[in-house]
Chains A and B, each alone.
Chain A
Amino acid sequence: AQTVTQSQPEMSVQEAETVTLSCTYDTSESNYYLFWYKQPPSRQMILVIRQEAYKQQNATENRFSVNFQKAAKSFSLKISDSQLGDTAMYFCAFMNDQGAQKLVFGQGTRLTINP
């Protein structure tokens, strides 16, 4: 079974700084998808960014980018020019490309952006 590990339960940075959230996963599959979801205090789960494992190019979405290291099974999220609205729980998630395609989540990292 696939597992996703987020080793940083909490992080805190100053506004406008850059922050990197770590995620590692375990799988024997070659094709899969990785995601970062944001959960602000409103509780809504919001898709931040998506990476396809067979694409070498790292995904980017405005201030959000990933560092995908397939051999190391690592998938970190970088937030540049952090804003107060980035304060949230961030979940890394894995999905197989075959079979049931269930999303498997890590335990989350609580990120606080301080003014």
Chain B
Amino acid sequence: DAGVIQSPRHEVTEMGQEVTLRCKPISGHDYLFWYRQTMMRGLELLIYFNNNVPIDDSGMPEDRFSAKMPNASFSTLKIQPSEPRDSAVYFCASSPYVGAGSGYGYTFGSGTRLTVV
């Protein structure tokens, strides 16, 4: 199993540009999560999906952020337009089951470090 795969590993973009981050979860995992990590705010959950359907996007900071999961093996997080304050590490994670009695914890990808200049 290759684990959760994220791309790109690093992204540098200019303010105002569109940025797309990509994630491939572990096969068979029903849940996919997007987190953002910053020094000031730590690890924040942005959105999560169950069976490709967005369940909770209350952590998405504003309308400039959007996430999709067109199939079980692929998800994107898009920022348009990007701003310097979006600079952070963005993690994707997946989990096989999220329900009473499970509590597996997540498997994280290696993250994308986004720098907006």
Number of A-B contacts (CB under 8 A): 55
Contact between A100 and B55 (Cβ–Cβ < 8 Å)? yes
Complex CA–CA separation, A50 to B45 (angstroms): 20
Closest B residue, CB atoms, query A106:
B42
Point out the residues of chain A lying under 8 angstroms from B93, CB to CB. Answer: 45
How big is chain B's contact interface, by range? 20 to 34
Point out the residues of chain B lying under 8 angstroms from A52, CB to CB. Answer: 103
Kindly state whether residue B108 has any CB partner on chain A within 8 Å: yes
Interface of B is mostly: strand
Chain A: how many interface residues by the 8 Å CB criterion?
A: 27
Closest B residue, CB atoms, query A31:
B100
Complex CA–CA separation, A37 to B108 (angstroms): 10
Kindly state whether residue B71 has any CB partner on chain A within 8 Å: no
